[in-house]
């Protein structure tokens, strides 16, 4: 059996929404190079919705696939809906992750939440 | 799709001539070599012949070869067996910090049983320091085990010198794990002046399931698998005759062609190293430049992670390996890169190509063409790379994220 599910491999090899947003409304960063995984998420917010989302990720196959999936799941959602995306639901949407990757690479939802919080703090909410 | 195998440190393809030699021992000559009728005798002859082929290859005597099922077993036998046989003379053991786990874990076990262990550090290129070895030797040192060459970073130790210093400064038995060397260059145990050596068929175009411990005549050892009289009672258990026959044949072939293979493989290796160095910025060769295994190419590729690299290589039909934390099942950066003081963030981007006699120039050209594109693709999505491009500086690791702290948190 392959180490990663087909869905993980697809999102890893063809990640969606890679990039940066120069005038982002919120930025969230998790992980660090020493762990081998680091993700930065950028969001644009319009009418309380995630209008655009981009990410840059340094990490293993799982980390990149997770980032791509989070961006796909969050795009067009309200901020509250975005806050409800969990690391577990992302892993589920990817058809599961190997057990040893659940803890370290599955940080995408955390990065998204940080970006949303960053936006809210800028608004003074 | 192309299939380019560049993970020969994990195991090599079987030589067809080896396979042919093994074949009759599955269906035709299936006797147990310990049986005294003719069918048993044929297996016994095959066993004796293989023992002689292995001995000849490393310039040992046939009775000095103990067959085992794999190199891990041979290392376990050497470490635990020699330590036990000499424990009345002392309980101190010296190993290098970059040994295989089949040496490191047995010495950890011995430590719990009352032995004291010294781990010799290595320098940035992976060399064990002769002075450190001399300093570590004690009157109660009974065993020194230093890997001949490291399969991950390719550095070849001066084993002859290290064995000589050990003999001068102690009563210790000197063992070397020579698995990655035996398929790559000639080994002469008499000239090296060593007491014990581990060799495995599976990385020298032989089959899985056969390896050996060379144990110099007169060196004592306590068996770790006890039972019948096989292997002179030093390793009981029915002999895996087809695999042992294949091992013998692999040694016979190696004896005739190893030098010319090494020359060819070395030139392909250098083409790969030079091509990468020229075409990819911010990559760093791990391991020694000279005294390097002929087939070893190990680079740290900055701003990207190793598992991603080898997954994308795999998608192009290129099979490689990595020492990054993510690529290891235990999620730790390779202990070898760590011991060599490789920057932890940079080491995450380690990628390992190991060549064999079956690789061709066309294959190397293909890797040289594809790999830079893969690196660029990953760099284009790396926040570390964009930070570097924008600021000219490396992103520093955050507080409390030292590699060792991190490992402890994970444990």
Which residue out of B348, B389, B410 would a mutagenesis test of the A interface target, given it has the greatest number of A Cβ atoms within 10 Å? B348
CATH topology for the B16-255 domain: 3.40.640
* The pLDDT value given to residue A100: 78
Cβ pair B336, B350 in contact under 8 A: no
Q: What is the average pLDDT value for chain B, to the nearest integer?
A: 94
Cα–Cα distance measured from residue B192 to residue B283, given in angstroms and rounded to the nearest whole number = 35
Instruction: Give the residues across from B283 on adjacent strands.
Output: B301
Residue A61 forms contact with B (CB below 8 Å) = yes
* The pLDDT value given to residue B289: 95
* The pLDDT value given to residue B403: 40
Instruction: Give the pLDDT band (50/70/90) at residue A102.
Output: confident
Can you say whether the dihedral through the CA atoms of B179, B185, B190, B191 is positive or negative?
negative
Which residue out of A33, A41, A64, A107 would a mutagenesis test of the B interface target, given it has the greatest number of B Cβ atoms within 10 Å? A33
Does the ipTM surpass 0.90?
A: yes
DSSP secondary structure code for residue B283 in this structure: E
* The pLDDT value given to residue B408: 40
Which CATH number describes the domain made up of A6-123?
3.90.1010.10
Cα–Cα distance measured from residue B57 to residue B274, given in angstroms and rounded to the nearest whole number = 33
Residue B321 forms contact with A (CB below 8 Å) = no
Q: Are A60 and B326 a contacting pair at CB < 8 A?
A: yes
Which mean pLDDT values do the consecutive 10-residue runs of chain B (411 residues) have?
A: 93 97 98 96 98 98 98 98 98 98 97 98 97 98 98 97 98 98 96 98 98 98 96 96 98 97 98 97 96 97 93 95 72 87 89 97 98 97 94 69 40 35
Instruction: Give the pLDDT band (50/70/90) at residue A20.
Output: very high
For residue B407, the chain A residue with the least C-alpha distance is A35
Cα–Cα distance measured from residue B391 to residue B52, given in angstroms and rounded to the nearest whole number = 63
Q: Where in chain B is the domain with CATH 3.90.1150.10?
A: 259-410
Cβ pair A94, A5 in contact under 8 A: yes
For B28-43, the pLDDT digits (tens) are: 999 999 999 999 999 9
Cβ pair A44, A21 in contact under 8 A: yes
Residue A16 forms contact with B (CB below 8 Å) = no
Residue B386 forms contact with A (CB below 8 Å) = yes
In chain B, what residues touch A60 (CB-CB under 8 Å)?
Answer: 305, 307-308, 324, 326-327
* The pLDDT value given to residue A2: 75
Provide the token pair at B71. 């190199």
Q: Which of A20, A33, A35 sits opposite B384 (nearest CB)?
A: A33
- Of B98, B177, B369, B154, the C-alpha closest to B269 is B154
Q: Are B331 and A100 a contacting pair at CB < 8 A?
A: yes
3-state secondary structure A11-74: HHHCCCCECCCCCCCEEEEEEECCCCEEEEEEEEEECCEEEEEEEEEECCHHHHHHHHHHHHHH
CATH topology for the B259-410 domain: 3.90.1150
* The pLDDT value given to residue B397: 58
Provide the token pair at B200. 């495995």
**Close Cβ partners of B279 (under 8 Å, ≥ 6 residues apart):** B368, B372
* The pLDDT value given to residue B331: 65
* The pLDDT value given to residue B400: 36
Q: Could you tell me the CA-to-CA distances from A29 to A58, A109, B358 in Å, in that order?
A: 11, 11, 45
Q: Are B308 and A13 a contacting pair at CB < 8 A?
A: no
Q: Are A58 and B304 a contacting pair at CB < 8 A?
A: yes
* The pLDDT value given to residue A1: 62
Residue A39 forms contact with B (CB below 8 Å) = yes
- CA of A61 to nearest chain B CA: how many angstroms apart? 5
Q: Where in chain B is the domain with CATH 3.40.640.10?
A: 16-255
Which residue out of B337, B381, B391, B403 would a mutagenesis test of the A interface target, given it has the greatest number of A Cβ atoms within 10 Å? B381
């Amino acid at each position: 059996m392959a180490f990663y599910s087909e869905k993980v491999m697809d999102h890893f090899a063809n990640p969606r929404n890679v990039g940066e947003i120069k005038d982002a409304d919120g930025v969230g960063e998790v992980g660090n190079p020493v762990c081998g995984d680091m993700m930065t998420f950028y969001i644009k917010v319009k009418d309380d919705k995630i209008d655009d989302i981009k990410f840059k990720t340094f990490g293993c196959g799982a980390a990149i696939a997770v980032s791509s999936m989070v961006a796909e799941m969050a795009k067009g959602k309200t901020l509250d809906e975005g806050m409800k995306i969990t690391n577990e639901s992302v892993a589920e949407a990817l058809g599961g992750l190997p057990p040893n990757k659940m803890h370290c690479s599955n940080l995408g939802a955390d990065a998204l939440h940080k970006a949303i919080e960053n936006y809210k703090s800028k608004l003074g909410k | 799709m192309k299939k380019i195998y560049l993970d020969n440190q994990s195991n090599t393809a079987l030589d067809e001539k080896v396979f042919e030699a093994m074949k009759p021992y599955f269906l035709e000559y299936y006797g147990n070599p310990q049986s005294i009728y003719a069918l048993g005798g044929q297996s016994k002859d095959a066993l004796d012949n293989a023992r002689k082929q292995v001995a000849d290859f490393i310039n040992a005597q046939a009775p000095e070869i103990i067959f085992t099922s794999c190199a891990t077993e041979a290392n376990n036998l050497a470490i635990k067996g020699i330590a036990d046989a000499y424990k009345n003379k002392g309980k101190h053991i010296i190993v290098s910090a970059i040994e295989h786990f089949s040496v490191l874990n047995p010495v950890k076990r011995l430590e719990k049983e009352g032995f004291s262990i010294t781990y010799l550090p290595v320098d940035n290129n992976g060399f064990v320091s002769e002075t450190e070895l001399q300093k570590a030797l004690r009157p109660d040192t009974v065993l020194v085990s230093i890997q001949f060459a490291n399969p991950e970073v390719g550095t070849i130790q001066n084993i002859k010198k290290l064995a000589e210093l050990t003999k001068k400064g102690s009563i210790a038995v000197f063992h070397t794990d020579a698995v990655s060397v035996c398929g790559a260059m000639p080994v002469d145990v008499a000239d090296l002046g060593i007491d014990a050596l581990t060799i495995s068929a599976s990385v020298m175009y032989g089959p899985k399931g056969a390896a050996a411990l060379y144990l110099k005549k007169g060196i004592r050892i306590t068996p770790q698998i006890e039972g019948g009289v096989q292997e002179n009672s030093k390793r009981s258990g029915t002999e895996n005759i087809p695999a042992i026959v294949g091992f013998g044949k692999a040694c016979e072939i190696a004896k005739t062609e190893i030098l010319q293979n090494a020359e060819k493989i070395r030139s392909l290796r250098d083409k790969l190293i030079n091509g990468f160095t020229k075409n990819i910025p911010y990559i760093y060769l791990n391991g020694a430049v000279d005294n390097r295994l002929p087939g070893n190419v190990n680079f740290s590729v900055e701003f990207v992670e190793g598992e991603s690299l080898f997954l994308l290589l795999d998608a192009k039909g290129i099979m490689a390996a990595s020492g990054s934390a993510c690529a290891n099942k235990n999620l730790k950066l390779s202990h070898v890169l760590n011991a060599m003081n490789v920057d932890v963030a940079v080491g995450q981007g380690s990628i390992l190509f190991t060549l064999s006699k079956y690789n061709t120039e066309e294959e190397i050209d293909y890797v040289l063409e594809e790999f830079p594109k893969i690196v660029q693709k990953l760099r284009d999505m790396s926040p570390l790379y964009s930070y570097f491009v924008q600021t000219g500086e490396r992103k520093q690791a955050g507080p409390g994220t030292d590699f060792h702290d991190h490992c402890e948190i994970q444990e």
